[in-house]
Amino acid sequence: MIKINFIGHTGTHHRLEAVAGHSVMEVAVRNGIAGIDAQCGGACSCATCHVYVDAQWTDHVPPVTATEEMMLEFVEDQRPESRLACQLMIDEALDGLTVRIPASQREF
């Protein structure tokens, strides 16, 4: 089973099982990960699933699309490793992926 690691800005850590073909956002929402609101349901139109992809994984995730890049302009605390979790589709190559939830995502 594929595992995805979510680390909150307060240091909380969740290692969750994921299914190939689903998005990182879907895994987060299904498991109640604070800070991943996904208000648009994965349509890449709200940026409420903003995450930071750990440096060791940036070469393993698909490249940013023009639409995602446009939506990332609206997030607070944007960094080079910023991604929208709805655009990160899970496959075997992402087993162990670690994403961090920015403080601006209002994790409580």
**What does 11-41 look like in DSSP terms, one character per residue?**
--EEEEEE-TTSBHHHHHHHTT-TT---TTS
Question: 3-class DSSP state for residue 7?
Answer: strand
The total domain count for the chain is 1
Give the end-to-end CA distance of the chain in Å, rounded to a whole number: 29
Residue 65 within a domain = yes
Residue 18 within a domain = yes
Residue 14 within a domain = yes
Give pLDDT tens digits along the chain (108 positions). 999 999 998 999 999 999 999 999 999 999 999 999 999 999 999 999 999 999 999 999 999 999 999 999 999 899 999 999 999 999 999 999 999 999 988 743
**Which tokens belong to 35?**
């800070």
**Which tokens belong to 54?**
């750990």
Residue 108 within a domain = no
Residue 49 within a domain = yes
Residue range of the domain that includes 75: 2-103
Residue 8 within a domain = yes
Residue 49 near residue 28 (C-beta atoms within 8 A)? yes
Residue 39 within a domain = yes
Could you tell me the CATH number of the domain that includes residue 6?
Answer: 3.10.20.30
